[in-house]
Amino acid sequence: MKDKRILVLDIDGTLVNSKKEITPETLKYLHMIQEEGHIVALASGRPYPGMKGYAKQLKLEEFGGYALSFNGGKVIDCSTGEAVFEKAIPNKYLKTIYDYAIANGLGMVTYRDDQVLTGTEIDEYMEYEARLNYMVIHKVDDFLGEVDFDMTKCLLTAPPEKAEIFERELAQLLAPDLNVFRSEPYFIEITIKGVDKAESIDKLVNILGMEQKDTICCGDGFNDLTMVQYGGIGVAMDNAQQIVKDNADYITASCDEDGIVQVIKEFILK
């Protein structure tokens, strides 16, 4: 076999098209390279329940692929269902984040099993997050009491025109211990420092006894920037945010034009 590769794929806007579907052509090529011994890993801001359907389509359980959920906060070996890496936000930060959300009118959610939990008014962005991940959203009266665990990820919601300001303020408020970044114009994500897609991919590479040069990392959103920078080959979709394109080694076709197939043909099968 040619040099073994790890193909790391963001889901929304990368693996799936604008209808949230993996096209038959993309699916065919992803099965093909796994049959040849290459590794496919999904890296998403989604919780694992929102990734499992795509993992099943890709046959990651059969081929030994991986799911990097919560922007890398938890890395799951799909063949066993076990976490090989996990790092969460200590509960002591919960009140600081919640107080800021309440004071500034942001939505706030975290995750417990197959539930999305919120202590703020349910907005359209939260509803989208729950629907996207096939999860049920629950508004609880005592959010601080209900969330008595360390959060793998916290998600704040705000209108796009305001979210950038909140992102900057939260980054200052929570520095230097937590990461604050937008995965979508209206989603502000918070994880513990040392957890982002690049860091978790690096953990996985080391676990597998491989090297950074063996990685091909493909994405489109703000939260894909670090992994595109990290990748032995960093790939931006044609539909990617401009900052992702600016930092990519290669720009492929859009998610609606089988851009991942183009990557596979160019860098794995060629």
Pick the CATH number of 91-192 from 3.30.70.100, 3.40.50.300, 3.10.20.30, 3.30.1240.10: 3.30.1240.10
For residue 194, name the pLDDT band (cuts at 50, 70, 90): confident
pLDDT at 83 (0 to 100): 94
pLDDT at 183: 83
**Average pLDDT estimate for 48-66:** 96
pLDDT at 131: 93
* Integer angstrom CA distances of residue 118 from 69, 89, 102, 123, 207: 19, 17, 12, 10, 35
pLDDT at residue 184 is higher than 70: yes
The answer to whether 78 and 72 are in contact (CB under 8 A) is no
Q: CB under 8 Å to 27, separation ≥6 — which residues?
A: 57, 58
187: helix, coil or strand?
Answer: strand
Q: Give yes or no for residue 2 having a pLDDT over 70.
A: no
CB proximity list for 148: less than 8 A, separation 6 or greater: 91
Residue 257 has pLDDT above 90, yes or no: yes
pTM of the model: 0.84
Architecture of the 6-87+195-267 domain: 3-Layer(aba) Sandwich (3.40)
Q: Percentage of the chain surpassing pLDDT 70?
A: 99
Residue 91 has a CB neighbour count (10 Å cut-off) of 13
* Domain definitions of the chain by residue range: 6-87+195-267, 91-192
pLDDT at 114: 87
Read off the pLDDT band of 118 (50, 70, 90).
very high
pLDDT at 217: 98
